[in-house]
C-alpha cells in the first residue's frame, strides 16, 4: 500500500492561513477596523459622495452658480426647469431656482448640523456625567431630561421657537433644546454600562483623578455610540429645521433655506408643480443620505 508523502499533509492552521500574510506586531485599532468596513460599504460611499457634492456646492456657492439669488424678475416668473439660463427654472418672483437651491443649502445644512452639534456637546456631557457619577447627580440630571423628553419633538421645537419668535437663531436654540434630552439619555445609558466595566474599576484603583478616567477610559468607549446616535439625528434635524422654516419660523426673506422656499412656492403648486416640489427633493435626498450613512456607520462600528 502506497503511503502518502508526508510533505503533502497540511496542518489545519496551514489550511486556514493559506495565502494570508503572517502578521507580527501589526495591530489594528478599533477605528482602523471601522474605516476598513466603511470603505467596503457601497451604499455609504455613494451617500457620502452625494453629500460631499451638496456640501461643497453650498460652501462654494458663489463659484458654482452664475445668477444672483436675490434678483427678481416679473417677466421670468415660474419658468419650468430646462429653460435657457435657468436649468431648474425660476421661482414665484423670477429668481433662478438652481442658484437659490445652492444658497439655500448653506442655511439648511447649517441648521441641520448646528443643533445636533450643540446638543451632542451639551447632552453628551450631561449624560456621561450622569452615567459616570450615578446617584443623586444622575437623578437630578436625568429627571430634568425626562421632562424635556415628555414633549413630542416637533411640538417642542415649534413651541419654543414660536414663543421666541421667528428667526434663524431662535430656531437653532429651539432645536438644540429639543435634541439635548435624547442625546443625554443615550449617553447616560452607555456611560452607565461602561462605568461598571472592570477596566474602569482598575483605572480607579490606580488612584487616578476622575477627569483623567473620564477622558482616557470612559470617553473613548462612549464616543462611538453617542456619535452614531448624533449622526442619525442630523437627518431628523434637517427635516425638522426645514419644517420650522416651512412654518415661517426660520430665516426671514429674502434669504431662504429649502424649507422657506417650499413654503413660498406652495402658493404656486397649481401653476408650477415641479418647481414647487424641487426644494423638498433636496431636503429628502440630503436627509436620506444622512440616514443611510448613519446606518452604515452603525453597522461598521457595532462589530467588535
Partner 1 sequence: MLSYILRRIAYALPITLGVTIICFSLIHLAPGDPLSAVLPDNAGPDMREQIKIAYGFDKPLPVQYLLWLKNVATGDFGLSIQSRRPVVSEVLPAACNTAYLALAAVLIGFPFGILMGAVAGYTVGGWIDRAVTSVAVTGVSVPHYWLGMVLVVIFAVNLGALPAMGMGPGGQSSYAFDWAHLRHLVLPAITLAVIPAGIIARSVRATVADIRRRDFVGTLQAKGIGEGRVLYHVAKNAGPTILAVAGLQFAQLLGGSILVETVFSWPGTGFLLNTAIFTRDLPILQGTILVLSIFFVFINLVVDVLQTFLDPRIKRA
Partner 2 sequence: MTLAVVPENPRLPVSADPRDRGGPMQPMLLVEDLKKHFPIKGSLFSPSRAVVKAVDGVSFEVAKGETLGIVGESGCGKSTTARLLMHLIQPDAGTIVFDGDPVGVVRGIPVDELQRNMQMVFQDSYASLNPRLPIADSIAFGPKSHGLPKSEARERARDLLGMVGLNPRLFAERYPHELSGGQRQRVNIARALAMHPRLVILDESVSALDKSVEAQVLNLLVSLKDRLSLTYLFISHDLNVVQYVSDRVMVMYLGRVAEIGPVERLYEAPQHPYTRALLSSRPSMDPRRRVSVPPLSGDPPNPVNPPSGCRFRTRCPLAEAVCAEIEPPLAALPAFPAHKVACHAVAAASGHSGTAVPV
Q: How far apart are CA 122 and CA 289, in angstroms?
A: 26
Beta-carbon contacts of residue 51 (< 8 Å; ≥ 6 apart): 286, 289, 290, 293
Q: How far apart are CA 25 and CA 36, in angstroms?
A: 19
Q: Which of residues 202-221 bind partner 2 (CB under 8 A)?
A: 202-209, 212, 216-217, 220-221
Q: Which does 168 bind (CB under 5 to 8 A by kind): partner 1, partner 2, none?
A: none
Q: How far is the CB of 205 from partner 1 (least distance, A)?
A: 32
Query: Do residues 149 and 255 lie in contact, with contact meaning Cβ atoms separated by under 8 Å?
Result: no
Q: How far apart are CA 39 and CA 49, in angstroms?
A: 12
Q: How far is the CB of 93 from partner 1 (least distance, A)?
A: 19
Q: Quick one: the chain helix, strand, coil %, rounded to 5? A: 70, 0, 25
CA torsion sign for 96, 285, 293, 236 is positive
Q: Which of residues 26-55 bind partner 2 (CB under 8 A)?
A: 27-30
Choices 48-56, 118-126, 129-137, 194-202; region in contact with partner 2 by CB under 8 A: 194-202
Look up residue 85 and give its three cell numbers. Answer: 439660463
Q: Could you say which of 88, 230, 292, 301 contacts partner 1 (CB under 8 A)?
A: 292
Q: According to the binding rule CB under 8 A, does residue 273 interact with partner 1?
A: yes
Q: Could you say which of 68, 146, 201, 302 contacts partner 2 (CB under 8 A)?
A: 201
Query: Do residues 58 and 282 lie in contact, with contact meaning Cβ atoms separated by under 8 Å?
Result: no
Q: According to the binding rule CB under 8 A, does residue 146 interact with partner 2?
A: no
Ramachandran angles phi, psi of 226, nearest 5°: -65, -45
Pick 144 or 159: Cβ nearer partner 2 = 144
Binding residues vs partner 1 (CB under 8 A): 143-144, 146-148, 150-156, 158-160, 162-166, 235, 239, 242-243, 246-249, 262, 266, 269-270, 273, 276-277, 279-280, 283-284, 287-288, 290-292, 295
Binding residues vs partner 2 (CB under 8 A): 24-25, 27-30, 197-199, 201-209, 212, 216-217, 220-221, 304
Amino acid at each position: 500500500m502506497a503511503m502518502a508523502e508526508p510533505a503533502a499533509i497540511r496542518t489545519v492552521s496551514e489550511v486556514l492561513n493559506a495565502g494570508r500574510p503572517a502578521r507580527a506586531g501589526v495591530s489594528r485599532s478599533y477605528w482602523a477596523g471601522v474605516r476598513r468596513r466603511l470603505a467596503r460599504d457601497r451604499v455609504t460611499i455613494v451617500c457620502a459622495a452625494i453629500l460631499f457634492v451638496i456640501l461643497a456646492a453650498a460652501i462654494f456657492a458663489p463659484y458654482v452658480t452664475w445668477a444672483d439669488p436675490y434678483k427678481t424678475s416679473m417677466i421670468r416668473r415660474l419658468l419650468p426647469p430646462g429653460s435657457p439660463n435657468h436649468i431648474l427654472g425660476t421661482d414665484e418672483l423670477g429668481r433662478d431656482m438652481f442658484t437659490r437651491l445652492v444658497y439655500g443649502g448653506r442655511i439648511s445644512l447649517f441648521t441641520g448640523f448646528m443643533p445636533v452639534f450643540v446638543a451632542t456637546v451639551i447632552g453628551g456631557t450631561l449624560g456621561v456625567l450622569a452615567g459616570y457619577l450615578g446617584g443623586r447627580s444622575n437623578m437630578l440630571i436625568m429627571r430634568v431630561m425626562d421632562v424635556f423628553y415628555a414633549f413630542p419633538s416637533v411640538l417642542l421645537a415649534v413651541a419654543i421657537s414660536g414663543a421666541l419668535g421667528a428667526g434663524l437663531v431662535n430656531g437653532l436654540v429651539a432645536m438644540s433644546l429639543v435634541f439635548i434630552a435624547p442625546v443625554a439619555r443615550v449617553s447616560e445609558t452607555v456611560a452607565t454600562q461602561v462605568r461598571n466595566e472592570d477596566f474602569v474599576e482598575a483605572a480607579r484603583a490606580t488612584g487616578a483623578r476622575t477627569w483623567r478616567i473620564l477622558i482616557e477610559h470612559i470617553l473613548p468607549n462612549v464616543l462611538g455610540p453617542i456619535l452614531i446616535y448624533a449622526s442619525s439625528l442630523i437627518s431628523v434635524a434637517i427635516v425638522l429645521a426645514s419644517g420650522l422654516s416651512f412654518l415661517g419660523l426660520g430665516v426671514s426673506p429674502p434669504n431662504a433655506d429649502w424649507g422657506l422656499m417650499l413654503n413660498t412656492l406652495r402658493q404656486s403648486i397649481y401653476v408650477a408643480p415641479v418647481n414647487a416640489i424641487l426644494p423638498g427633493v433636496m431636503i429628502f435626498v440630503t436627509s436620506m443620505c444622512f440616514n443611510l450613512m448613519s446606518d452604515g456607520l452603525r453597522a461598521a462600528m457595532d462589530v467588535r
